[in-house]
């Protein structure tokens, strides 16, 4: 059943039927009701492809998920971000178009998705420090918004980011205040912008405390549980092992916890651990009280807000760019404690 058939059965024009169904004012209420009843009766649903062609709007937002054959790893925060964004999309009548593309194909995938009408806007995930995607999308002249930032990119663009530098600076400072001066860093991959900024924050806190950075207790890598585990074991072998650790996510923190427990060290007493907590839904940081002392910011909320900002940008007549910088919140758990002189 399409619009033409429906209008024929009703002895009305397609115009009137279309307007009746879409809530336009210039149609008699009695007619509207008649149309609505018939639409229900014949189980009529407008064809979305035709509608988007006619309106010029896809009502769809593209997300392109890079996927590298080597790592095979999905971004930890991806699912929760998507869930948050998806929620907002559905309340605004949008849906989400995901493309999982290999690293090397990513730019062409953007082109394919973006150039002509498949989506009305794009969200860029996990920007690297000098991310080529940003200039590329700006060229394509399609609204887009970056979750995170790309420090080395000069093209202006819309973004939402957490102040990663300040977050980790604050966290590191907290450990310094507890008396720790030998603090290890178990960071994400530092080609990623967020990881670089977190490293900056860590270094900055050390510097202002007059402590020289020591590369032998700093790690950078893909944030899974074994990475946290092996890095920790490794750091504990150091000639002068750290008394506190800072890590980029709750996932490696779980690995840290495993390593420490295996070595018989108690978190918060023998060694302090501070992590960044994205509030991943299935790995909450404890139920009532937090377990890990953490810098916390909800990635789900970030997804929600990114979606809102992008939709605003799409719908605004003058598409000025939007940026938003959030601060992570320090929450105190049981994984940190003052430096004991005995250690």
Partner DNA sequence: GAATCACTTCAAAGCGCTTTGGATAGCAGA
Partner DNA sequence: TCTGCTATCCAAAGCGCTTTGAAGTGATTC
Residue ranges in contact with its own copies by CB under 8 A: 45-50, 52-53, 58, 60, 65, 67, 72-76, 78-80, 82-83, 85-87, 89-90, 95-102, 105, 109, 111-113, 115-118, 223-226, 229-230, 251, 254, 257-258, 261, 281-284, 286-287, 291, 300
Specify the residue, 90 or 216, whose C-beta has the smaller distance to its own copies. Answer: 90
Alpha carbon of 197 to those of 75, 81, 246, 256, 272: distances in Å? 18, 20, 14, 22, 22
Distance, C-alpha 269 to centroid of its chain = 33
Residue 26 CB, nearest approach to its own copies (Å): 25
Per residue, what are the HEC states of 199-234?
Answer: HHHHHHHHHHCCCCCCHHHEEECCCCHHHHHHHHHH
Rg value, the chain, Cα: 26
Give which of its own copies, DNA, none residue 290 binds (C-beta under 5 to 8 Å, depending on kind).
none
The residue from 22, 71, 151, 281 that contacts DNA (CB under 7 A) is 22
Specify the residue, 23 or 210, whose C-beta has the smaller distance to DNA. Answer: 23
Which range, of 25-33, 102-110, 192-200, 271-279, touches DNA by CB under 7 A?
A: 25-33
Going by the DSSP 8-state scheme, the letter that residue 141 receives in this structure is T
Q: Kindly compute the dihedral angle of the four CA atoms of residues 227, 232, 233, 236, in this order, to the nearest 10 degrees.
A: 160
Q: Binding to DNA by residue 15, rule CB under 7 A? A: yes
Q: Binding to DNA by residue 315, rule CB under 7 A? A: no
Q: Binding to DNA by residue 43, rule CB under 7 A? A: no
Q: How far apart are CA 265 and CA 285, in angstroms?
A: 20
Give which of DNA, its own copies, none residue 324 binds (C-beta under 5 to 8 Å, depending on kind).
none
């Amino acid at each position: 059943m399409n619009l033409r058939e429906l209008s024929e059965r009703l002895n009305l024009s397609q115009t009137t039927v279309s307007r009746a169904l879409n809530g336009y004012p210039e149609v008699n209420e009695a007619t509207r009701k008649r149309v609505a009843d018939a639409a229900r009766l014949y189980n009529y649903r407008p064809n979305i492809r035709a509608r988007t062609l006619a309106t010029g709007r896809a009502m769809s937002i593209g997300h392109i998920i890079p996927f590298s054959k080597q790592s095979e790893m999905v971004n930890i925060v991806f699912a929760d971000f998507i869930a948050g964004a998806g929620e907002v999309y559905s309340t605004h009548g949008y849906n989400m178009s995901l493309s999982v593309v290999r690293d090397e194909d990513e730019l062409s995938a953007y082109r394919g998705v973006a150039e002509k009408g498949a989506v009305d806007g794009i969200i860029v995930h996990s920007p690297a420090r000098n991310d080529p995607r940003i200039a590329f999308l700006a060229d394509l002249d399609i609204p887009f918004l970056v979750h995170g930032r790309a420090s080395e990119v000069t093209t202006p663009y819309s973004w939402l980011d957490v102040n990663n530098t300040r977050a980790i600076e604050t966290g590191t400072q907290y450990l310094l205040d507890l008396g720790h001066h030998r603090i290890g860093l178990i960071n994400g991959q530092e080609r990623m912008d967020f990881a670089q900024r977190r490293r900056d924050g860590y270094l900055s806190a050390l510097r202002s405390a007059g402590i020289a950075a020591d590369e032998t207790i700093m790690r950078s890598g893909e944030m899974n549980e074994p990475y946290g585990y092996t890095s920790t074991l490794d750091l504990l072998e150091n000639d002068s092992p750290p008394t506190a650790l800072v890590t980029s996510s709750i996932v490696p923190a779980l690995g840290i916890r495993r390593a420490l427990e295996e070595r018989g060290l108690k978190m918060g007493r023998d060694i302090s651990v501070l992590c960044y907590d994205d509030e991943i839904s299935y790995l909450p940081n404890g139920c009532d009280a937090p377990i890990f002392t953490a810098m916390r910011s909800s990635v789900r909320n970030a997804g929600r807000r990114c979606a809102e900002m992008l939709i605003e940008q799409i719908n605004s007549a003058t598409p000025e760019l939007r940026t938003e910088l959030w601060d992570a919140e320090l929450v105190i758990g049981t994984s940190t404690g003052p430096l004991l002189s005995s250690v």
